[in-house]
């Protein structure tokens, strides 16, 4: 809608001496920014009950300017009573009614205004807005075009028409409309709208240029700056959004929203502490903003302070008791505190009242995936319910994402697509031709392109696959702000950005690439785009690396593992076929920058330890650990994780081990160190690494072993509890695998029997580990290549 200027048309009256003079004075005050003086004069005229329509019409217009639509309606109805055919009164009244969501009344009033004065372009524009809100798009487009016919450079009508065209699937036509405007006639808001049309077409670089031009044109427009920040976040340019948003808190010191959006952009690029400070400032202004509390809670959670996160989520729930983000994130933090049953109960309760909450299903599925095999049948049932909800949705949403906490605050952009690196943008507009390419076509759908544990394994394949036999494309659902992303996208034929796409657009893109195999790597973890696979996007679809339970998706053909992680006996836990590689299912490339593997314990008692997430250290794990600590009486336990910053989490572990007979003074906690080299060097404090169950070690198993620290694994009855034992079998150390607390304790005690030999043998163990299949990425790549070829051959035989 567009605001209507004050009415200055002549309507002589003899009721008040010098009526025209008083109206002129009021108009001068309003034009000079002194609305209070203008209102006072108009109110005096209204109190005198003049029959002239202008004081009442202008009081309504001023109320509209201050966004007081209810008061505006009162004054404008008085104006209409004095002159039912005053077109500008009807124009303003239509606007006020629309702001009050009285859309049908607004349409009737605005139609009357255009019939009385067909040259009133603002009335046509606002009629278009009301018709659009009433889901009459064709009539709305006609109204906007009429406004533009009357005033060809009418920017608000052009912006509204372009948005409507884009909403109905034609952003290219909207772009063409906006480009017809001469350069000098393009306002900041019009340039921003042009950027939005480009973004919707996937032309992110051009869109960002338009956003930049919008800000250059109107640098002091706070609303425009906020919109540009939103849009840049939606393009995956949160780093650029920070620069656009930085001036906003000073421009609007009493408005919490600029602080929140700037905080979100900083949170997205990993500047968590700065984001926390901004969210806290926003909440000091307006404490009841539950969704900003959800974002603040997520920042605390990513810093390991789940106690503070839970406090924020619960405070937000007092304001909005059934807020999906707060309930789901509360459950996630409870899980991260090792309270798995409490986390599952929280979401069971929520899903009972909200059976269509996709986010709740996703988080619940992940929680159950790290439980024991007792959750298997429940997980299959829950997954069926999720996919039923996904397929019944009547709209085409953005890609879903578990626990972002942001989707209720910021414009859709997803959980979650963004740019990956400068090199990626240059390739985006030049997709490789499919004509004549006889190679097997492989796609990877992933949220882990960059510094992520899944990437450390996926990169093994990307570095070594046979480019003469295989064409590989990446479909990425989230940007990671680091150099690893640049390296990964350079290894493939083409990378694709999905973040700004809705489900239909992203799925159509993947389908257009005619893939033989699409490998999904994320499952039900953060920023997943697995929803795309609810409809077939490739001849063969499979999951690999990032998840450790069934996806429950009937269009997922294979779950790739090995003989230990997905034995035939696990078939009943999966809807997918189980594809077993003839070697360990993972491999990593040896790092050239590893710290030296030496023991920092020259003498003294054995140091047992774990650098696993504290979420893994639950009752089942602590029972095994207590047995080991009691079997090696002088030993100490060292636990390191980001969540050791949470005192409640540490107290939980100390209390549980104390009940099992382990003295609290034998237990120490280490804070998380930022540098990977610093993190790995602290393995030199350990003599033996302890596994967790039923969510076993994977990345931490590789880390410990490569640092020359033996790992004692706990073998369970589901995939999540078999990762560590698969790694040790790949190393050729099955004797380090336990299936009971007593056996676990015996293995640890045996390793600690000769501490001096154990400590001197770190470098030798590292050499054995790096010479094993665990660090043979070429062998893994050949196994995957042969598997992909066999999958396609099997699919062809079934036709």
50, 76 Cβ separation under 8 angstroms? no
- Residue ranges of the chain assigned to CATH 1.25.40.10: 19-217, 288-392
Give me the pLDDT at residue 799, please: 62
Phi-psi region of 166 (alpha: psi -120 to 50; beta: other; left: phi over 0): alpha
Please report the DSSP string for 251-278 in residue order.
Answer: HSTT-HHHHHHHHHHHHHTT-HHHHHHH
Listed residue (782, 373, 798, 369) closest to 581, CA to CA: 782
Backbone angles phi, psi at 499, to 5 degrees: -60, -40
- Residue ranges of the chain assigned to CATH 3.40.50.11380: 395-399+407-429+439-587+782-799
Give the residue carrying structure tokens 């910053």. 645
pLDDT at 6 over 70: no
What one-character DSSP code corresponds to residue 436? T
Give me the pLDDT at residue 398, please: 55
pLDDT at 247 over 90: yes
Q: What is the per-residue pLDDT across 278-310, written as a single tens digit (0 to 9) for each? A: 999 999 999 999 989 999 999 999 999 999 999
- Residue ranges of the chain assigned to CATH 3.40.50.2000: 607-775
Token representation of residue 769:
């580990």
Q: Which residues contact 162 (CB under 8 A, 6 or more apart)?
A: 174, 175, 177, 178, 193, 194, 197
Q: Taking the CA atoms of the chain, what radius of gyration do you get in angstroms? A: 32
Is 483 exposed, middle or buried (CB count within 10 Å of its CB: 0-12, 13-18, 19+)? exposed
Q: Give just the sign of the alpha carbon dihedral 260, 261, 267, 272.
A: negative
Give me the pLDDT at residue 431, please: 55
Q: Which residues contact 517 (CB under 8 A, 6 or more apart)?
A: 440, 441, 442, 443, 538, 539, 540, 541, 542, 788, 791, 792
Sheet holding 737-738, edge to edge: 667-670, 636-640, 607-610, 688-690, 711-714, 737-738
Res. 1 pLDDT band, cuts 50 70 90: low
Instruction: Quickly count: other Cβ atoms within 10 Å of residue 490's Cβ.
Output: 13
Please report the DSSP string for 324-367 in residue order.
Answer: HHHHHHHHHHHHHTT-HHHHHHHHHHHHHH-TT-HHHHHHHHHH
Q: What is the per-residue pLDDT across 515-549, written as a single tens digit (0 to 9) for each? A: 999 999 999 998 899 999 999 999 999 999 999 99
Listed residue (367, 363, 297) closest to 339, CA to CA: 367
Instruction: Quickly count: other Cβ atoms within 10 Å of residue 770's Cβ.
Output: 16
Give me the pLDDT at residue 531, please: 93
More confident residue, 510 or 17: 510
Give me the pLDDT at residue 230, please: 86
Q: What is the per-residue pLDDT across 215-242, written as a single tens digit (0 to 9) for each? A: 999 999 998 899 899 888 877 788 899 9
What one-character DSSP code corresponds to residue 398? B
SS3 718: coil
Q: What is the per-residue pLDDT across 304-335, written as a single tens digit (0 to 9) for each? A: 999 999 999 999 999 999 899 999 999 999 99
pLDDT at 415 over 80: no
Token representation of residue 652:
């939980």
Q: Which residues contact 720 (CB under 8 A, 6 or more apart)?
A: 369, 370, 548, 549, 694, 695, 696
Give me the pLDDT at residue 183, please: 85
Query: Domain spanning 607-775: which superfamily?
Result: Glycogen Phosphorylase B; (3.40.50.2000)
Listed residue (7, 1, 20) closest to 75, CA to CA: 7
Listed residue (127, 171, 190, 104) closest to 1, CA to CA: 127
Q: Give just the sign of the alpha carbon dihedral 211, 212, 215, 216.
A: negative
Token representation of residue 3:
């605001």
SS3 538: coil
SS3 608: strand
Instruction: Give CATH for domain 395-399+407-429+439-587+782-799.
Output: 3.40.50.11380
Backbone angles phi, psi at 607, to 5 degrees: -115, 110
H-type alpha helices, 151-201:
155-167, 171-179, 188-200
Mean pLDDT estimate for the chain? 89
Phi-psi region of 202 (alpha: psi -120 to 50; beta: other; left: phi over 0): left
Token representation of residue 760:
């001197």
Report the 3 state secondary structure along 620-666. Answer: HHHHHHHHHHHHCCCCEEEEECHHHHCHHHHHHHHHHHHHCCCCHHH
Listed residue (423, 530, 417) closest to 476, CA to CA: 417
Token representation of residue 742:
């007593």
Res. 357 pLDDT band, cuts 50 70 90: very high
Res. 130 pLDDT band, cuts 50 70 90: very high
Q: What percent of the chain has pLDDT over 70?
A: 92
Res. 449 pLDDT band, cuts 50 70 90: confident
Average pLDDT over residues 84-108: 92
Angle 290-302/272-285 helices, nearest 10 degrees? 160
Half-sphere exposure of residue 588: CA atoms within 13 angstroms, side-chain side: 20
Please report, for residues 669, 685, 699, the alpha-carbon distance to residue 620 in angstroms, rounded to integers and kept in the order given: 20, 25, 20
Instruction: Quickly count: other Cβ atoms within 10 Å of residue 223's Cβ.
Output: 12
Average pLDDT over residues 748-755: 97
Cα separation of the two ends of the chain? 57
Say what the alpha-carbon torsion angle 436, 781, 499, 291 is, to the nearest 10 degrees. Answer: 170
For the domain made up of 19-217, the CATH class stated in words is mainly alpha
Res. 417 pLDDT band, cuts 50 70 90: very low
Please report the DSSP string for 469-533 in residue order.
Answer: TEEEEEEESS---SHHHHHHHHTSSEEEE-TTSBHHHHHHHHHHT--SEEEE--TTSTT--GGGG
pLDDT at 428 over 80: no
Q: What is the per-residue pLDDT across 250-269, written as a single tens digit (0 to 9) for each? A: 999 999 999 999 999 999 88
Give me the pLDDT at residue 574, please: 97
Q: Which residues contact 440 (CB under 8 A, 6 or more apart)?
A: 469, 470, 471, 516, 517, 788, 789, 792
SS3 229: helix
Token representation of residue 633:
């009486």
Listed residue (643, 647, 702) closest to 676, CA to CA: 702
pLDDT at 718 over 90: yes
pLDDT at 651 over 90: yes
Listed residue (721, 359, 704) closest to 528, CA to CA: 359
Q: How far is Cα 482 from Cα 229, in angstroms, rounded to an integer?
A: 21
Q: Which residues contact 73 (CB under 8 A, 6 or more apart)?
A: 60, 93, 96, 97, 100
Strand pairing category for 440-446 and 470-476: parallel
Is-cis flag, bond preceding 79, omega within 30?
no
Task: Calculate ∠ Cα 679-682-684, nearest 5°.
Answer: 140
Angle 324-336/340-353 helices, nearest 10 degrees? 160
Instruction: Quickly count: other Cβ atoms within 10 Å of residue 74's Cβ.
Output: 14
Domain topology for 288-392: 1.25.40
Instruction: Quickly count: other Cβ atoms within 10 Å of residue 56's Cβ.
Output: 26
Q: How far is Cα 511 from Cα 443, in angstroms, rounded to an integer?
A: 11
Q: What is the per-residue pLDDT across 754-774, written as a single tens digit (0 to 9) for each? A: 999 999 999 999 999 999 999
Average pLDDT over residues 135-141: 93
Q: What is the per-residue pLDDT across 543-593, written as a single tens digit (0 to 9) for each? A: 999 999 999 999 999 999 999 999 999 999 999 999 999 999 999 998 888
Listed residue (518, 502, 536, 535) closest to 399, CA to CA: 502
């Amino acid at each position: 809608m567009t605001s209507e200027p004050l009415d200055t048309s002549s309507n002589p009256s003899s009721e008040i001496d010098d009526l025209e003079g008083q109206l002129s004075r009021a108009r001068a005050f309003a034009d000079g920014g002194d609305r209070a003086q203008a209102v006072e004069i108009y109110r005096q005229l209204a109190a005198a009950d003049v029959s002239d329509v202008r004081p009442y019409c202008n009081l309504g217009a001023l109320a509209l300017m201050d966004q007081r639509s209810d008061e505006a309606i009162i004054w404008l109805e008085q104006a209409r009573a004095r002159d039912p055919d005053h077109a500008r009164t009807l124009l303003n009244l239509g606007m006020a009614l629309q702001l009050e969501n009285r859309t049908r009344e607004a349409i009737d009033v605005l139609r009357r205004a255009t019939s009385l004065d067909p040259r009133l372009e603002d009335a046509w524009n606002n009629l278009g807005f009301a018709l659009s809100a009433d889901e009459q798009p064709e009539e709305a487009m006609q109204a906007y075009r009429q406004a533009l016919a009357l005033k060809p450079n009418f920017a608000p009508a052009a912006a509204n028409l372009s948005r409507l065209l884009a909403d109905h699937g034609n952003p290219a036509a909207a772009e063409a409309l906006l480009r017809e405007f001469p350069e000098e006639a393009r306002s900041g808001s019009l340039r921003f709208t042009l950027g939005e049309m480009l973004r919707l077409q996937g032309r992110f670089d051009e869109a960002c240029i338009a956003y930049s031009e919008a800000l250059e044109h109107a640098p002091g427009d706070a609303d425009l700056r906020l919109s540009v920040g939103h849009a840049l976040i939606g393009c995956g340019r949160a780093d650029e959004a920070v620069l656009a948003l930085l001036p906003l808190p000073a421009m609007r010191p009493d408005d919490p929203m600029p602080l929140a959006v700037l905080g979100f952009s900083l949170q997205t690029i990993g500047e968590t502490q700065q984001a926390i400070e901004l969210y806290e400032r926003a909440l000091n202004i307006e404490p009841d903003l539950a969704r900003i509390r959800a974002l603040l809670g997520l920042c605390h959670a990513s810093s390991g302070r789940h106690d503070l996160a839970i406090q924020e989520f619960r405070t937000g729930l007092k304001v909005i008791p059934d807020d999906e983000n707060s309930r789901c994130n509360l459950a996630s933090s409870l899980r991260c505190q090792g309270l798995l049953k409490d986390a599952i109960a929280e979401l069971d309760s929520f899903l009972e009242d909200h059976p269509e909450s996709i986010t709740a299903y996703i988080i619940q599925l992940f929680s159950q995936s790290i439980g024991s095999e007792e959750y298997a049948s429940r997980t299959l049932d829950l997954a069926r319910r999720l996919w039923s909800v996904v397929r019944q949705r009547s709209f085409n949403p953005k890609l879903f994402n578990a626990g972002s906490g942001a989707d209720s605050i910021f414009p859709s952009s997803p959980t979650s697509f963004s740019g990956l690196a400068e090199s990626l943008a240059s390739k985006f507009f030049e997709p490789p031709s499919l004509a004549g390419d006889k190679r097997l076509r492989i796609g990877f759908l992933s949220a882990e392109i960059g510094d992520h544990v899944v990437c450390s394994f996926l990169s093994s394949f990307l570095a070594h696959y046979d480019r003469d036999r295989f064409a590989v494309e990446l479909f990425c659902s989230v940007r990671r702000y680091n150099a690893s992303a640049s390296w990964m996208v350079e290894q493939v034929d083409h990378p694709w950005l999905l973040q700004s796409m809705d489900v239909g657009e992203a799925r159509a893109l993947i389908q257009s690439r005619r893939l033989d195999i699409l490998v999904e790597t994320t499952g039900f973890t953060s920023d997943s785009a697995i929803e795309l696979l609810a409809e077939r996007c490739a001849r063969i679809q499979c999951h690999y690396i990032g998840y450790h339970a069934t996806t429950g998706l009937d269009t997922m053909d294979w779950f790739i593992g090995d003989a230990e992680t997905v034995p035939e006996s696990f078939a009943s836990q999966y809807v997918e076929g189980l594809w077993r590689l003839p070697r360990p299912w993972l491999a990593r490339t040896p790092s050239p920058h590893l710290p030296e593997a030496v023991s920092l314990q020259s003498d003294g008692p054995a140091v047992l330890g774990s650098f696993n997430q504290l979420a893994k250290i639950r009752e089942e794990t602590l029972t095994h650990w207590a047995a080991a600590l009691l079997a090696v009486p002088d030993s100490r336990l060292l636990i390191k994780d980001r969540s050791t910053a949470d005192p409640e989490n540490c107290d939980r572990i100390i209390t549980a081990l104390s009940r099992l007979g382990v003295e609290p003074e034998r237990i120490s906690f280490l804070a998380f160190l930022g540098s990977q080299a610093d993190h790995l060097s602290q393995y030199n404090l350990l003599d033996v690494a302890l596994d967790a169950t039923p969510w076993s070690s994977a990345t931490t198993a590789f880390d410990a072993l490569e640092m020359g620290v033996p790992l004692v694994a706990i073998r369970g009855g589901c995939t999540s509890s078999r990762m560590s034992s698969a790694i040790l079998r790949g190393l050729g150390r099955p004797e380090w695998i336990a299936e009971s607390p007593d056996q676990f304790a015996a293995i640890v005690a045996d390793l600690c029997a000769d501490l001096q030999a154990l400590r001197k043998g770190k470098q030798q163990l590292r050499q054995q580990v790096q010479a094993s299949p665990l660090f043979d990425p070429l062998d893994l790549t050949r196994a995957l290549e042969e598997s992909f070829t066999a999958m396609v051959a099997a699919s062809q035989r079934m036709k």
